[in-house]
Amino acid sequence: MTIKNIIKLSASAAILTTLISSPLASTVNAETTSSKETISKNNISPVVNHDNNKLRQIAVNNNLDLAIVPTTNVIGKSSNISDQAWSNKLAKAGYIFKLSKDIYASSGGLFPSNFAKRQPYSVKYAKKIYDKKMLFKIDQFKSVKNGTSIHIVSKNKKYQFWTNFLTGTCNIYGRRKALKPIIKAEIKVIRTTDKKTASRSLAKATKVTAKLHGSNKKIASDSIIQLKQWLNNKNFANIPVLLIGSL
């Protein structure tokens, strides 16, 4: 099996393993009855999902823990930052996330909160949820040996799901024109392997942030702080929240 094919193996398996071991798997059941009926009846199959690809590339570029197992792509845990600390950071951001198109690109993008049937929602249902354009909060992050996943709750409290970290949702502030230069510079910092390039990109982001006003300046300033945390301790938990959905 080629490395390319290994990289493209299922992110669904990662979520499956996560949720089976999660306390919420047996305690949370917030979907409506009608939504449960739309769960795909097919067995979970390998999905070409870019979430693990992106995590893998970040890991390779920054010498983070990474391993390959026979059945799936693996990115190491967030080392010295607990899942709870990571969950708290994401939850603190509030209802600033929307579902991305990736959740209905193929089967395995969206999973039930209670995960009772251990199967993803159908592509049709995932698209239906996406079209509602609801705001979500990420209230839990789970890292396991073979992947990462996040639990999301809609602002109206009617929907709860598990989906992929980075590609399952997108930060709504990432669409603001004024913040685009910040995001571009921060992404370069995250992806580069060259310290000088990272330093220049950080300086550029800082300079642009100084010229912003109001909420844009606050969002950018908070993101710069998180980016510096990433530079001091490169693990996935320190990736700026603003970049979720843009990497």
Q: What is the mean pLDDT of residues 195-209?
A: 95
The residue ranking higher by pLDDT, 177 or 23, is 177
C-alpha–C-alpha distance, residues 122 and 38, integer Å: 7
Q: What is the mean pLDDT of residues 198-202?
A: 95
Q: Which residues pair with 67 in a beta bridge?
A: 74
Predicted local distance difference test score (pLDDT) of residue 167: 85
Predicted local distance difference test score (pLDDT) of residue 114: 79
- Distance of alpha carbon 156 from its chain centroid, rounded? 21
Closest CA to 113 of 77, 78, 139, 92: 139
Q: Look at residue 213 and tell me whether its pLDDT is greater than 80.
A: yes
Closest CA to 56 of 72, 79, 80: 72
DSSP-derived letter for residue 42 is S
- Residue 13, both tokens: 């398996």
What pTM, to 2 d.p., does this model score? 0.70
DSSP-derived letter for residue 145 is T
C-alpha–C-alpha distance, residues 8 and 59, integer Å: 16
